[in-house]
Amino acid sequence: MTDNEKSPVAGDDAILPFQVGEAAVRGRIVRLGGVLDSILSGHQFPDAVSELVGEALCLVSMMGAALKFDGKLIFQAQGDGPISLVVADYSAGGALRAAAKYDAGLVGEAAIGSAGALLGKGHLAMTVDQGPDMERYQGITALIENSLAAAAGSYFDQSEQIPTVVKLAVGHLSVPGQDPAWRAGGMIVQFMPGEGGVRERGEEIIMSDDDRDIWERAVAFTHTIKADELLDPAISPQTLLYRLFHEDGVRIYDPQPVRADCSCNGDKVAAVLARYNEAELMDMVGDGAISVNCEFCRKNYQFNPQGELIETP
């Protein structure tokens, strides 16, 4: 940490931006505790699916925290494996949500912790949504690696031409007398152009010899991180960053909190139902009402046969 600077405090459910050296290497570290457990508990995924969804939430948190506008970052991994789809998104202000589609029988036979085995062949997509009046930007890369961390690094290297290394960890925390709870941690470290290094998207960054030295050290140190260091609540993000990068100096910035929050609401669902005719709506009726579950937060909305929201206490 920089000399005589009071570091901001960050713990669970927060993203901590940092800078290594003078300007060349920047990154973000995230810890997800109660937020992750709340999201995963609502879905009741098998453990293998929960691990992959937890990794996706870490990724989209760290990447979304870099947005400079009031928008949304959508992460999507899609393949032909037992888990066919993982979606997670981050909205400006720190709102997180996630969903997944999977074959329960096949997931049980796949190896936990291997994105390659669980997702199969497919693609990874990052979509930046800047709002209804702005054009979306989407980058896509093949899902050819055996982990989401490696696939995300390849995405930045190929689509953005930004040298990137990513570390992710997801697991259960067991405390005597309490039910096990899901936790996740992640770190993304990138070589960013310094002062005078402004470039267009996709344009290759040119490193000086000094830049290359500090970047190679940062990559080597980042690869030494163990999963328990990212997950252990007794090891603060500040402590971990200092352990890794104190030789070059590490500056940390204000933490950015995250929360489990879904943008669904009854009016949005009603607007979708309004596209259907009377006969189609009647086909959706069961036990006298149309029941709709949000794929992200699992909230249930009830509508009458005319597609009007039924107010519930």
Lowest mean pLDDT across 9-18, 215-224, 289-298:
9-18
Res 54 pLDDT > 70: yes
- Please provide the size of the chain in residues: 313
Query: How far apart are the C-alpha atoms of 165 and 154, rounded to whole Å?
Result: 9
Strand 181-191 relative to strand 25-32, pairing? antiparallel
Res 16 pLDDT > 90: yes
Q: Which residue type occupies 247?
A: E
Per the CB < 8 A criterion, the answer to whether 215 and 207 are in contact is yes
**Across residues 124-144, what is the average pLDDT?**
83
Q: Note the pLDDT of residue 107.
A: 86
Query: How far apart are the C-alpha atoms of 199 and 208, rounded to whole Å?
Result: 15
Q: Note the pLDDT of residue 72.
A: 92
Q: Note the pLDDT of residue 29.
A: 97
Q: How confident is the model at residue 66 (pLDDT cuts 50, 70, 90)?
A: confident
Q: Note the pLDDT of residue 6.
A: 41
Most confident of 17-26, 31-40, 121-130, 142-151: 31-40
Res 110 pLDDT > 50: yes
Lowest mean pLDDT across 9-13, 38-42, 116-120:
9-13
Strand 259-260 relative to strand 95-102, pairing? parallel
Q: What percent of the chain has pLDDT over 90?
A: 54
Query: How far apart are the C-alpha atoms of 245 and 221, rounded to whole Å?
Result: 7
Res 264 pLDDT > 80: yes
Query: How far apart are the C-alpha atoms of 37 and 57, rounded to whole Å?
Result: 11
Query: How far apart are the C-alpha atoms of 97 and 16, rounded to whole Å?
Result: 19
Task: Convert the pLDDT of each residue in 144-164 to its tens digit.
Answer: 767 889 889 888 888 778 899
Per-residue exposure over 298-309, b if at least 16 CB sit within 10 Å of its own CB, e if not: eeebebeeebeb
**Average predicted confidence (pLDDT) for the chain:** 86
**Across residues 227-245, what is the average pLDDT?**
93
Label residue 217 exposed, middle or buried (CB < 10 Å: 0-12, 13-18, 19+).
middle
User: What is each CA distance from 83 to 1, 37, 211, in whole angstroms?
Assistant: 41, 20, 40
Q: Note the pLDDT of residue 126.
A: 92
Lowest mean pLDDT across 68-72, 249-253, 267-271:
68-72
Q: Note the pLDDT of residue 144.
A: 73
Lowest mean pLDDT across 98-112, 159-173, 208-222:
98-112
43 three-class SS:
helix
User: What is each CA distance from 298 to 54, 140, 151, 261, 292, in whole angstroms?
Assistant: 17, 28, 28, 12, 9
Q: Which one is predicted more confidently, 63 or 144?
A: 63
Q: Hey, what domains does the chain have and what are their CATH numbers?
A: 14-260 (3.55.30.10), 266-303 (no CATH)
The 10 Å Cβ neighbour count of residue 293 is: 12
Tell how far CA 132 is from the center of its chain: 22
Res 267 pLDDT > 80: yes
Task: Convert the pLDDT of each residue in 72-101 to its tens digit.
Answer: 999 999 999 899 999 999 998 899 999 999
Lowest mean pLDDT across 207-216, 228-237, 262-271, 284-293:
207-216
Task: Convert the pLDDT of each residue in 177-219 to its tens digit.
Answer: 778 899 999 999 999 865 444 445 544 566 777 788 889 999 9
